[in-house]
A and B are shown apart, each in its own frame.
Chain A
Amino acid sequence: MKTLLATAITASLLAIPAYAESVKIGFVTTLTTGAAAIGEDMKNSVELAVEHLGGKAGDMDIEVIFEDDAFAPESGKQVTDKLVKQDDVDFVAGYIWSHVLLASRKSVLDADKFLISTNAGPSQIAGKLCDKNFFSTSWQNDQTPMAMGEVLNKMGVKSLYVMAPNYAAGKDMTAGVERTFEGEIVGKDLTKWGADAQLDFSAELAKAKASDADGLFVFYPGAAGGAFIKQYDQAGLKDTLPLYSVFTVDAISLPKLQEAGLESVLGSQFTQEWDPTLDNEANKKFVEGYKEAYGHYPSYYGAQSYDAIMLIASAVEKAGGVDDKDALRAALEEADFDSVRGDFKFGTNHLPVQDFYLREAVKDEDGVWTTKVVDTVYEDHVDSFASECSMD
C-alpha cells in the first residue's frame, strides 16, 4: 500500500512539468509607501512588455506575480521566499533597492532559480557575491555617479558637497563619484532611509551652503528626489551652489516638479544609461506604448524592467522552455533581444556593459517636462567590481 502511494505521489510529481506550460516570473518592487510611484512605473512597464510579447515567451505563456517589498529588506526577503517556495517561480526579477536585493538574493540563488535585478546594483553583487544565476538589466550603483564625476571634472568643478541616503546604494553612489571626481569632497551627509526616510533636509542644506563648495552632488531616488529639489529651490541655492545629481531628476520627480512650478530644475544635468529619446526601434515602441497606455513618460526604472521581461522571453524561447537551466543560462548570457538601449551585452559578472549619457531636463514639444541626451560620457563601460567576480 505504502509503495503504491509513494509511486502515485512520485508519478504526480513527475507529471507537473508536463502541465507547466507557462513561465512564471516573480516581480518584487515597492507598491506601497512613498516609493510606490517607482513600483507603479516598473509594474506598468512589465505589463506593457508582456502585452508587446503577446503574452508569450516562445510557446509558453508568461505569468507575472507582483509582490510588494514595502521599501524594507525584511519584507522584501519575505515576499521573495514566498515567490520561491510557494509560487515556485522560474525567475525572480525586480528590486529597486540595493539593501532589499542584498537581503533577498540568497533565497532565490539557493533555490537554484534565476535572479534578475531591474534596478538595484550593489557593489557586492557585482563583485564578490556575483553568481552564475544572477543577471542585471540595470547597472552597478557606482557607474552612474562615476560618469557624473567625469562630467564635473570637465566642467571644472573643484570642490563638492555630497549628500545621499544612508543605505547600500547611497554608499556606492558617493563612492562612485569620489572615484572619478578629481576635486575635493568638502563635506558629506548620509541621511536616514527606508519607509520612514528623512525627507526634510533643512539641516543638511544649511551645512552644504556653509561649506562654500563649488557644487552639491546628490542621490535621492523616488519621492525624496522631488522633495530635495523643492527644498534646494526654496533655500535659494541655485546661483551659489549648483546642483549635480544622479537618479534624482527623472520621470518620477519631473511631473511633480512641473506641478509645483519649479522652473529652476529645467536645464539641470545628470547621467544615466537610458533616455526616452534614445533613437532605436525598441525604445520608440516602448516609450510610445507607455505614453499611450499610462499618459506620461516612462522612467529608467520602467525601461530596465521592460528589458528584463524581453530578456527572459528571448532566453526561454531560445532554450525551448525553462527545464534545462544550463541552456537557459547560456541563452540569458547571449542577451539576444531588442533592448530599449539599442545594443545590449553582458559582462563577465552578468551586468550590462553599456554607454552612459549626460542628460538634461527640458520641455518637450507639448510642454511636458522630460529629459534628453546631450552627450555620451562613457562607451561600453565595465563596472569596477567585475574583476572581483568569479562564477565558480
Chain B
Amino acid sequence: MDTSLFIIQLLNGIQLGLLLFLVASGLTLVFGILDFVNLAHGALYMVGAFICASLTYATGSFILAVIIALPLTAAVGFVIERLVARPLYARNHLDQVLATFGLILVLDTAAHLIWGPQGMAVPLPEFLQGQISLSGGLVLPTFRLVIIFTGLAAAGGLFWLVNYTRLGMLIRAGASNRTMVSALGINIQLLFSLVFALGAALAGLAGMLIAPITEASIGMGNSIIITAFVVIIVGGIGSMKGAFLAALMIGLIDTLGRSYLDEIFSLVMSPVAAENSAPAISAMLIYIIMAAVLAFRPQGLFPPKVR
C-alpha cells in the first residue's frame, strides 16, 4: 500500500471528523442538557455558511467574515431558542422533532428568499488557496490543514470551557440535574439560551469552514445533520468526549471506506462486482456501524457518566 496516500487519507478523515464534531458537539450539548431534539441544528450550519459568504463579499476578507459571522450565528441560535425551542422543552420528543423539522423548512425557504436558489461561492485569500508540502512528499491543500487546526482549537476550547470554567460547571450540573441547578438559584433559562447559542456558533463555524470547499447552498445542513446524529448516537448522547471520539471515528471510517473499500472488495470478488458494490457499501458504512452500536451498546460507546 502507498503510505503517503494512506497518511493523506488519514488527514482527510480527521478533517471530516473534526467538521462533524463541530456540528455534533452542539447537537449533543443541546440534547444532553436541554433534553431537546433539534433537527434544525443543520440549518444553523447553513445559516453560518451564508452569513459568512455574504460578509466575505462585504468585507473582502474571509477571516474577518468568520470572526463577525460567529457571534451573528450565535445570535440567530439565541433567538431561535427563545422563540421556537423554549415553548417546546416541556413537550415530548416527537413534538420537538416535528417543530424543528418545520423550522428547517422555514430556514431553508428564508435562505432561498434572501440569498437566492443558486448558492454562494466563498473566495479564499491567496495564502489559503494553495498547497502545503509536508515532509515525505506529502502535499495537502492549505485550507484542509486550516480546517484541521481550527477544528482542534475549537475542540480544545470547548473542552476547557466545559471542564474548567464556571459556565462549564453549570452546563455539566444542568446536564445531570437541572431542577437542582435552578433550585440553587442559577438562571437556568439563560444557561439554556447560552448553550443553544454556543451550539449554533459551533455548527455555524463548521458551515463557514466547509463553504470555501463546496459552497453555501440551500439544504446543505440536511445531509450533515444525519451524520451528526449518527455521531452522537455512536458516541453516547450528551457526552462531549463521546462526540469527539465518535466524530473522528466516523470521519475516518467514511473517508477510508471511500478510499480503500473497492480494493479490499476486489480481493474477494471480481473487479467489476467490487467496482459496483464498493460505492454502495461505503455510503452505508457509517449506518452499519450505528446499527451495530445500537444493537450491542445502545447507550453509545462513551456515554456520559451521570445521567
Cα A256 to Cα B53 with chains together (Å) = 12
User: In the complex the two chains form, is A36's CB within 8 Å of B218's CB?
Assistant: yes
User: In the complex the two chains form, is B279's CB within 8 Å of A203's CB?
Assistant: no
Q: Kindly provide the distance from the CB of B178 to the nearest chain A CB, expressed in whole angstroms.
A: 34
- Partner of A202 from the list B124, B144, B275, B283 (CB cut-off 8 Å) is B144
Q: Indicate whether A288 reaches chain B with its CB closer than 8 angstroms.
A: no
Query: Residues of B within 8 Å of A, CB-based: how many?
Result: 47
Note all chain A residues with C-beta closer than 8 A to B283: 166, 192
Cα A226 to Cα B5 with chains together (Å) = 25
Q: Which of B26-34, B208-216, B299-307 interfaces with chain A?
A: B208-216
User: In the complex the two chains form, is A203's CB within 8 Å of B215's CB?
Assistant: no
The 10 closest A-B pairs by CB, nearest first: A196-B223, A36-B117, A37-B118, A260-B121, A34-B217, A227-B214, A202-B12, A256-B121, A190-B279, A199-B214
Of A37, A190, A203, A210, most buried by chain B (CB within 10 Å of CB) is: A203
User: In the complex the two chains form, is A37's CB within 8 Å of B119's CB?
Assistant: yes
User: In the complex the two chains form, is A196's CB within 8 Å of B226's CB?
Assistant: yes
Q: Which residues of B contact A (CB under 8 A)?
A: 2, 4-5, 8-9, 12-13, 15-16, 108, 112, 117-124, 129-131, 139, 141-144, 210, 212-215, 217-220, 222-223, 226, 255-256, 258-259, 275, 279-280, 283
User: In the complex the two chains form, is A259's CB within 8 Å of B120's CB?
Assistant: yes
Note all chain A residues with C-beta closer than 8 A to B8: 206
Q: In chain A, what residue has the closest Cβ to B57?
A: A259
How many residue-residue contacts, CB under 8 A, span A and B?
Answer: 121
Q: Kindly provide the distance from the CB of A216 to the nearest chain B CB, expressed in whole angstroms.
A: 16
- Partner of B218 from the list A33, A231, A233 (CB cut-off 8 Å) is A33
User: In the complex the two chains form, is A235's CB within 8 Å of B141's CB?
Assistant: yes
Cα A166 to Cα B282 with chains together (Å) = 11
- A-B contact list, 13 entries, CB within 8 Å: A34-B218, A36-B117, A36-B218, A37-B119, A39-B117, A195-B219, A203-B258, A207-B5, A230-B121, A234-B129, A255-B118, A260-B212, A261-B123
Note all chain B residues with C-beta closer than 8 A to A207: 5, 259
User: In the complex the two chains form, is B141's CB within 8 Å of A230's CB?
Assistant: no
Q: Indicate whether A204 reaches chain B with its CB closer than 8 angstroms.
A: yes
Interface size range of chain A in the complex: 35 or more
Note all chain A residues with C-beta closer than 8 A to B118: 36-37, 40, 252, 255-256
Cα A37 to Cα B120 with chains together (Å) = 11
- Partner of A210 from the list B2, B217, B255, B280 (CB cut-off 8 Å) is B2
Note all chain B residues with C-beta closer than 8 A to A59: none
Cα A257 to Cα B119 with chains together (Å) = 12
Q: In chain A, what residue has the closest Cβ to B131?
A: A236
- Partner of B222 from the list A190, A196, A199, A223 (CB cut-off 8 Å) is A196
Cα A307 to Cα B77 with chains together (Å) = 46
Q: Which residues of A contact B (CB under 8 A)?
A: 31-34, 36-37, 39-40, 166, 188-192, 195-200, 202-204, 206-207, 210, 223, 226-227, 230-231, 233-236, 252, 255-257, 259-261
Instruction: List 15 extra interface pairs beyond A207-B5, A233-B129, CB under 8 A.
Output: A31-B117, A34-B119, A34-B218, A190-B275, A199-B214, A200-B214, A202-B255, A206-B8, A206-B9, A227-B215, A252-B118, A255-B118, A256-B119, A256-B120, A260-B121
Q: In chain A, what residue has the closest Cβ to B13?
A: A203
Q: In chain B, what residue has the closest Cβ to A233?
A: B129
- Partner of A200 from the list B108, B122, B210 (CB cut-off 8 Å) is B210
User: In the complex the two chains form, is A236's CB within 8 Å of B141's CB?
Assistant: yes
User: In the complex the two chains form, is B12's CB within 8 Å of A206's CB?
Assistant: yes
Q: Kindly provide the distance from the CB of B264 to the nearest chain A CB, expressed in whole angstroms.
A: 14
Q: Kindly provide the distance from the CB of A354 to the nearest chain B CB, expressed in whole angstroms.
A: 28
**Given A234-B141, A260-B121, A203:B217 Cβ within 8 A:** no
User: In the complex the two chains form, is A256's CB within 8 Å of B143's CB?
Assistant: no
Note all chain B residues with C-beta closer than 8 A to A233: 129
Cα A129 to Cα B4 with chains together (Å) = 47
Note all chain A residues with C-beta closer than 8 A to B129: 233-234
